[in-house]
Structure 1
Amino acid sequence: MADVELEDSSLPQSSDEEAVINGKDDDGDTIMPGAGKPAEDSDSDSDSDSDDEAQINLQVQTLESQLFSNPADYDAHVQYIRALRKQGDVEKLRHARETMSDLFPLTPDMWREWVRDETAMSSGAEALPAIEKLYERGVSDYLSVDLWCDYLDFLCKHDPVVREGSADGSSKLRNVFERAVVAAGLHVVEGSKIYETYRSFAQAHLSTMGEADTESKDKSLQNIRTLFYRQLSVPLANLESTLTAYKTWEAEQGISLDLDPNSLDGLPSPVAAAYQKALDALNARTHFEEKIARQDDSERLQHFMTYLKFEQSLGDPARVQILFERAITEYPINHDLWLDYTHYLDKTIKTSSIVRGVYSRATRNCPWVGELWVWYLRHLERVRASEEEISMVFEKSLQCTFGSYDVYLDIFLTRVDGLRRKISLAAAAGERLEFSMIKDVFQRASDYLSPHLEITDILRMSSYWARLEVNLGKNMVAARGVWENVLKTSGSVLGAWEGYIAMEIAAGHINEARSLYKRCYSKRFSGTGSEDICHSWLQFEREYGSLEDFDVAIQKVSPRLAELQSLKLQQENKSAPPIDQRENTSRKNAGEKRKLHSDATEDKSRTKRHKDMTQKLQITDPKPKSDATDSVEKAKVEVDSLKAENSSKGDTHSRPAKKPKYYDDQCTAFISNISLKATSDDIRAFFDDVGGVVDIRILTDKFTKTSRGLAYVDFIDDEHLAVALCKNKQTLLGKRISIAKSNPRESKKKGTASNTSEHGTTSNRAVDAEQSDSKHIASGSQENAGFQAKSAGQKGRDERGEFRGRNTFAVPRSVRPLRKSGLKPGASKDDGDEEPKSNDEFRKMLLKK
């Protein structure tokens, strides 16, 4: 709010009244229409006045247009009122002041100016009530000692009832004086003005009494003495001068007292004690008053705040209130001051009219602060204000401009809170209030705010609305309508469905909640919302559904979860680093990665070995020998068949080889002793209470494709893995399973080729060896395939011979199985395992044939 320099704030003097009568203000501007001008004006003065008048008229038209486009322009209102005062249009001036007063509180100087103008333009007793009303409005906007003194002086001079000295007139004036003392009497700097004016009135009234009216005269003397006592007990400026004035007055009444201001001799002991206490309090506040008296101090507001903390620490609400009023008069649009003031009054002042008036002024000074409107509505509810008053304040708040739509939502919900409590209290008292009032507020909030609010705020408002429809309105259909409207615009938000479902469950409508799950489980929500709603449905059926309902839920949810898992893996693969980078990482962390080789890579490696062997055979013995030629031809045929097999599978020369898949065992559990009938769904259901399952890999036999009773379960983080490890030795499908954290680095250090270790971990090398062995068997002869289907290192027998030992897999595929007669000389059939043959031995054996 702009600072406006107006007339002097002193009490009206005879010179001021003369200026008003002559139609001039302090600056010489005309303030009354038809005011007489000097008769001896020159022609040049007339031309100058005409130019000024034209300029003022143009300014008035410009300001009128400006206010029409922006009625909330405070500075334009001030300039418009000034221009109209110069122009002398009384009706327009009154209307302009009333309009501004409706929108903004006026400064004390603006009120004093308005009252002076109306006093000068009005005459007779009929104008007295209107001017008194202006004074009452002025003293209620801000604290102003000068305005109170003007008001009292006006009553003494212009109110016929008061001037007559009648009992009614004295009572009326005394009531105004007491109100002034309460409002401004504690003002440390200017409060003494009120007491001095009050004493002056009492002494003037005493002088009108006759000598015969002894009883009334004694009563007036006692009233004056009491006023002195009251003033001496309050820490006000010039307190010592007041004591001197009191002693002088007592001397006039025939009571001699020591005129020394430092002497308290002769004073009644209660008065002396009160004076000394007031003097000490004044001295304690002097340095605060000196700081806030510096008008050019940039930290003046902070000095006010420090002063307020000091007063609050002393615990005198009246003094705290008067200091708040002084600070607000200086800084009327500082919303922190208003918030502190209203909050303090709510806690300490029990008089509802005082607090209500402060809230009204606060919202007029800072209408853009939503918190003030919210506290105002709650205060009105607290003091049991009428529904009409609360509704009026609520409607006013919606006409203000706030910084965000969240503030409007807070005001709407505060209004709903009050109506809800009022309806509940009315129902308890046997009365009845219409729920339609709440519904109307919600509907207005939804229509106005929904396009602008965040989804969280919309859900907060809608869930509140729906609950009230069920609990107070007893209308489940209307509550469902609220949620259905939310789903139309926010159906992709998980919270909307969860809120709707929660309402149905709370109301005991299980079938309706189930139908909502069926509507939303296949929707795509952000983050992990899609998985969460699926698991939520399963949990719902566990708690409320039958076995058939649970089976239906699993039937529908399982494919959806698999689809979501597949999408997640695809996204992870897309975001995975390049293969060169992964290979470098694998070299650095060899113990932390488990690599699964593709069939194409293994087949290509075997083909290369056979090709090298064939070339060596040709170089070693270039002479044509039938047996060697046959063997070479057989090797070539074998190589050609392997090439054809690779081509049918998709050779790396014909198309790019499939990228190997890597697994990170940092958050993986290794599970053993699993039932051979267990599926991935069984394992996932086993860890359903743990959650966080990312992937499940059951190890199967390469030929029979049956489960080997081992599995890896990847979790999303270490927290979920730690919880999963606590389920060790629990039963799954009738078998006690073992669960341990997968640690390939540890197994690699041990050099084990087994799938399980003492701690339940698995070796990456063992997995690679198992897969590599299976691929050798698949690409070998049919006879060897049948033999290798049995576990390595055990006895195997075919129709042509017997092999023993752990390295029988190294027998070349181009060599037929040895017969018993093929044993080395001197070796018996019970001599144990044969030594593995080298390449040269195989070549010599073939050449001999």
Structure 2
Amino acid sequence: MEEETLIPPESQPPISEELDSDDDADHPMPDMPHQNPSSPPSHSDSDSGSDDDDNDNAQDKLQLQNLEAELSTNPSNYDSHVQRIKLLRKMGEIEKLRQAREAMSELFPLTPAMWQEWARDESSLTSGDEAVHTIEKLYERGLFDYLSASLWCDYLSFVLQHESSVREYSPDGISKARDLFERALTAAGLHVAEGNKIWEAYREFEQAIFHTIDETDVQAKEKQIQRIRSIFHRQLSIPLVNMSSTLLAYKRWEVKQGNTLDTESSNLDGISSHVASAYKKALEMYNARVHFEEQISGQDVSDSERLQQFINYLKFERSSGDPARVQVLYERAIADFPISSDLWLDYTHYLDKTLKVGSIVNNVYSRAIKNCPWIGELWVRYLLSLERGHVSEKEISSVFEKSLQCTFSTIDEYLDLFLTRIDGLRRRISFTGEKEDVLDYSLLRKTFQHASEYLSPYLKNTDGLLRLHAYWARLEIKLGKDLVAARGVWESLLKICGSMLEAWRGYITMETELGHINEARSIYRRCYSKRFPATGSEDICHSWLRFEREFGTLVDLDHAVQKVTPRLEELQLFRSQQESKLIDEKENNFKNAREKRKSVSDITDGQSPAKRQKDATQNQKQVHGKDKAQVQNLTEKGKMVERTQVDKPDIKNDIQKEAVPEKAKVYTDQCTAFISNLNFKATSENLREFFSDVGGVVSIRILHDRFTGKSRGLAYVDFTDDAHLAAAVAKNKEMLLGKKLSIARSVPKHGRRENIGHNVENKHESVEGSMESREPQAPQSAAGKRRVDDFQMKGKNTFAVPRNVRALGMTSSKPTTEKPDDENPKSNDEFRKMFLKG
């Protein structure tokens, strides 16, 4: 077999590498032709023990010590294993050499050349039936790793020469040899380039048996002739190299049996029709494949090109529909490219779809994970294949534990492994009918616990960890029949992902589906005041109100409204404050940019064009650097949650505009439609097209969240007159991008509005997603405005009570001053009535 060195991907252990020792593979170990394994290596007392030899031995020992030190710290260093074996073989250290080979074979598959070298070394050092049995095991192990016709030929030759029963042609020996030849033909008999070697060896063995039969035993001789003829016919029906030579050999053999055939030509005259027909078909098949064989065996072709030629060849072979030929070609490909993960994935996928023999598929998977242990998908599919083959729980558990020792590229691969293992345990517990295979639920719980501890540090606040715990809690109820344990699962998740809204919702959903309304309500009370990303804080408040409408009493609803309302007011106030600060900051940036452009223009009037261009570039960079610092400072002062960089490009674009806005635009919303339930992916173009049949659209404003920059599902559309507006409102409840729009005439408030620049939305208050207009509010006093501007959120779960609402039972110790009626603080009941009325 042609040898080559294969370099594995970086950061992964190499899987296969041919030893550059053709001569070593063909000859026994040097200086030790026939020694007892337990005896020390012999040393010549001649002049060969010179100083140069001593220096070489010292260097070899030092190199060996370095290699062993390296392997003690990094056992997965493939190259160090290879070098140690070479060095020990050179030094003649028999026992250490055996140990080194065994250690390497435990971690990596060895190449056919390495197995041939190992077997030949052992056969040159030992003798006897026990030694023959040991060497046969070595060949069997080598044949398991990769397909190699040459290794099969070596194995067959060794058995024919050293197995006494085979050598003496005893009935048992003949039977053993024939079984071995049939196995070899099954594995490599379809190998187009090298399969003919096994067929020829098989015929020679049967010919040798024929010559041992007594001439007087005509019946036995005739039976043996038919056996040899059958092997010829089988070989002639398979597309292999040198088919014409095989045909001529068959003709010559038939002539010796007394048949008249033309042994000088390759015509089929005189050959039975069914043999001739099979030969013609095989020859056509070979001619269709010969160009593929030439391409994959080319000497001047790069590895990548050869791999691509193998893939093309495989596509062709799969189209022919012969699974046995496809499997042999896959085996040939992985023997040349053992660390190609795509090749292994494609091979195993083909076997899963086509081959129903579980043992064969499992064997391929076991080799795949040994060659490419860093591919999580191979381990996952191996576990599924073992489950399909109904192997024992002990074997599946062993494979799973080995998979966790590997290094994968993403944490999601580990999650997939755990979920696959859990799925298999769930199926065995739920659907197995055999008592001896029934597993205890504690094993499933233990696996979940292991997964949570293993993955939580890496999957905090992710959907993957939520999925794992939701699955766990569901099985605790369904299979474990333990509600307390299910609640414990959710509580443990909340300790890790307490800022994840979906974790709380999942917990609430479980309690609601089980009919535990009070428990679900208590969870709402725990989380409604928490701070969630984006609009999560508002969403949980609205969710609680919807929950009480559907499941609670009126008292429960009133209590939820009392709790939720100040929280929503606080969130709305906080967002307005941040938006206002951001708008002020932008205005300052505009002014600074305009002043800098003016100053740059004045300075550069008297400069050369080249100097002016250089200074302008430097000033622009300074402006941009200042903008970034200002945005970062704003984030720190406002204690805002981490935002995406959606706002930064807006500031840059505004600075780079040639025309600085003289005055921020103010929207009066006197002829405006308010759109809600808008698809988050909808754009202004989508809305303009939606109202194209109405016409009269002046401007479109889609509202975005200041923290994330994502659409809030709300928009304002200005029209030229009331007629167009009325036509637009008539399109209420029509679909846009899969969502039914709610369209109403915008009713702006009187007094101060916060719709400058980015047009802060009309304060259409909503409870449970319904847009309900509230009563106009009086303009704020100066003191009230100052209180709003100075407002800051405090604490982890703070929800500020509005300044004009007094908590129940709260009294003020400070003297009160008379205020106009419209500025008197409202009581809690008055505030609730006003809210419900709106």
Normalising to structure 1: TM-score of the pair?
0.68
- CA 1:714/1:172 → structure 2, altered by over 3 Å: closer, same or farther? closer
- CA 1:102/1:563 → structure 2, altered by over 3 Å: closer, same or farther? same
Equivalent residue, structure 1, for 2:541: 534
Q: Is 2:252 aligned against 1:248?
A: yes
C-alpha distance in 2 between matches for 1:207 and 1:415 = 59
C-alpha distance in 2 between matches for 1:557 and 1:7 = 79
Matches within 5 A, 1:290-301: 290-298=294-302, 299-301=305-307
> In the TM superposition, what is the alpha-carbon distance from 1:7 to its structure 2 partner?
4.0
Normalising to structure 2: TM-score of the pair?
0.69
Q: Is 2:193 aligned against 1:185?
A: no
Matches within 5 A, 1:691-710: none
C-alpha distance in 1 between matches for 2:169 and 2:284 = 39
Q: Return the index of the structure with the highest Cα Rg.
A: 1
Q: Is 2:124 aligned against 1:117?
A: no
C-alpha distance in 2 between matches for 1:551 and 1:276 = 90
Q: Is the 8 A contact 2:408 2:414 kept in 1?
A: yes
Three-state SS of the structure 2 residue aligned to 1:234 is coil
- CA 1:432/1:293 → structure 2, altered by over 3 Å: closer, same or farther? closer
Q: Is the 8 A contact 1:32 1:121 kept in 2?
A: no
Three-state SS of the structure 2 residue aligned to 1:165 is coil
- CA 1:261/1:459 → structure 2, altered by over 3 Å: closer, same or farther? farther
2:71 maps to amino acid: L
Q: Is 2:745 aligned against 1:740?
A: yes
Equivalent residue, structure 2, for 1:674: none
1:244 maps to amino acid: L
Matches within 5 A, 1:361-380: 361-380=367-386
C-alpha distance in 2 between matches for 1:429 and 1:251 = 65
Equivalent residue, structure 1, for 2:480: 473
Once the two structures are superposed, residues 735-780 of structure 1 have per-residue CA deviations (whole angstroms, 9 ceiling, x without a partner) of xx99424699xxxxxxxxxxxxxxxxxxxxxxxxx999xxxxxxxx
Which deviates the most, 210-219 or 278-287? 210-219
Equivalent residue, structure 2, for 1:451: 457
Matches within 5 A, 1:220-231: 220-231=224-235
Equivalent residue, structure 1, for 2:524: 517
Q: Is 2:103 aligned against 1:99?
A: yes
Three-state SS of the structure 1 residue aligned to 2:22 is coil
Once the two structures are superposed, residues 641-687 of structure 1 have per-residue CA deviations (whole angstroms, 9 ceiling, x without a partner) of xxxxxxxxxxxxxxxxxx999556399658xxxxxxxxxxxxxxxx9
Three-state SS of the structure 2 residue aligned to 1:80 is helix
- CA 1:691/1:98 → structure 2, altered by over 3 Å: closer, same or farther? closer
> In the TM superposition, what is the alpha-carbon distance from 1:177 to its structure 2 partner?
0.3
> In the TM superposition, what is the alpha-carbon distance from 1:60 to its structure 2 partner?
1.2
Matches within 5 A, 1:723-738: 725=729
C-alpha distance in 2 between matches for 1:275 and 1:4 = 37
Equivalent residue, structure 2, for 1:568: 575
Q: Is the 8 A contact 1:206 1:217 kept in 2?
A: yes
Identity %: 56
C-alpha distance in 1 between matches for 2:468 and 2:670 = 44
- CA 1:428/1:390 → structure 2, altered by over 3 Å: closer, same or farther? closer
Three-state SS of the structure 2 residue aligned to 1:98 is helix
Equivalent residue, structure 1, for 2:32: 23
Q: Is the 8 A contact 1:145 1:191 kept in 2?
A: yes
Equivalent residue, structure 1, for 2:602: none
Given the alignment, which residue of 224, 228, 233 partners 2:237? Answer: 233
Three-state SS of the structure 2 residue aligned to 1:541 is helix
Equivalent residue, structure 2, for 1:435: 441
Equivalent residue, structure 1, for 2:17: 3
Equivalent residue, structure 1, for 2:596: none
- CA 1:173/1:660 → structure 2, altered by over 3 Å: closer, same or farther? closer
> In the TM superposition, what is the alpha-carbon distance from 1:254 to its structure 2 partner?
1.2
- CA 1:399/1:726 → structure 2, altered by over 3 Å: closer, same or farther? farther
Q: Is 2:342 aligned against 1:336?
A: yes
C-alpha distance in 1 between matches for 2:554 and 2:501 = 26
Q: Is the 8 A contact 2:676 2:715 kept in 1?
A: no
2:478 maps to amino acid: N
> In the TM superposition, what is the alpha-carbon distance from 1:452 to its structure 2 partner?
1.3
Q: Is the 8 A contact 1:192 1:236 kept in 2?
A: yes
C-alpha distance in 1 between matches for 2:557 and 2:731 = 24
1:350 maps to amino acid: K
Matches within 5 A, 1:558-707: 558-577=565-584, 663=667, 665=669, 669=673
Matches within 5 A, 1:91-490: 91-298=95-302, 299-426=305-432, 432-455=438-461, 456-490=463-497
> In the TM superposition, what is the alpha-carbon distance from 1:196 to its structure 2 partner?
0.3
C-alpha distance in 2 between matches for 1:403 and 1:156 = 48
Q: Is 2:497 aligned against 1:493?
A: no
- CA 1:123/1:572 → structure 2, altered by over 3 Å: closer, same or farther? same
C-alpha distance in 2 between matches for 1:326 and 1:550 = 72
> In the TM superposition, what is the alpha-carbon distance from 1:720 to its structure 2 partner?
4.2
C-alpha distance in 1 between matches for 2:55 and 2:743 = 105
1:90 maps to amino acid: I
C-alpha distance in 1 between matches for 2:172 and 2:437 = 46
Q: Is the 8 A contact 1:233 1:271 kept in 2?
A: yes
Once the two structures are superposed, residues 97-133 of structure 1 have per-residue CA deviations (whole angstroms, 9 ceiling, x without a partner) of 1111111100000001111111112111121211111
Three-state SS of the structure 2 residue aligned to 1:474 is coil
Three-state SS of the structure 1 residue aligned to 2:262 is coil
> In the TM superposition, what is the alpha-carbon distance from 1:23 to its structure 2 partner?
2.7
C-alpha distance in 1 between matches for 2:778 and 2:128 = 116
C-alpha distance in 2 between matches for 1:259 and 1:281 = 24
Between Structure 1 and Structure 2, how many residues are aligned? 620
- CA 1:562/1:427 → structure 2, altered by over 3 Å: closer, same or farther? farther
1:315 maps to amino acid: G
> In the TM superposition, what is the alpha-carbon distance from 1:375 to its structure 2 partner?
0.2
- CA 1:721/1:82 → structure 2, altered by over 3 Å: closer, same or farther? closer
C-alpha distance in 1 between matches for 2:290 and 2:136 = 36
2:163 maps to amino acid: D
Equivalent residue, structure 2, for 1:53: 57
C-alpha distance in 2 between matches for 1:489 and 1:415 = 23
1:23 maps to amino acid: M
> In the TM superposition, what is the alpha-carbon distance from 1:46 to its structure 2 partner?
3.1
Q: Is 2:564 aligned against 1:557?
A: yes
Q: Is the 8 A contact 2:702 2:714 kept in 1?
A: no
1:3 maps to amino acid: E
Q: Is the 8 A contact 1:206 1:220 kept in 2?
A: yes
C-alpha distance in 1 between matches for 2:72 and 2:209 = 52
C-alpha distance in 2 between matches for 1:718 and 1:117 = 76
C-alpha distance in 1 between matches for 2:92 and 2:21 = 17
Q: Is the 8 A contact 2:679 2:713 kept in 1?
A: no
C-alpha distance in 1 between matches for 2:24 and 2:664 = 95
Equivalent residue, structure 2, for 1:606: none
1:291 maps to amino acid: Q
C-alpha distance in 1 between matches for 2:472 and 2:89 = 54
Three-state SS of the structure 2 residue aligned to 1:665 is coil
1:421 maps to amino acid: R
C-alpha distance in 1 between matches for 2:397 and 2:285 = 45
Higher relative contact order (CA 8 A, sep 6+): 2
C-alpha distance in 1 between matches for 2:166 and 2:227 = 18
Which structure 1 segments of 5+ residues have no match?
585-658, 671-686, 693-712, 730-736, 745-769, 773-849
Aligned-CA RMSD value: 3.5
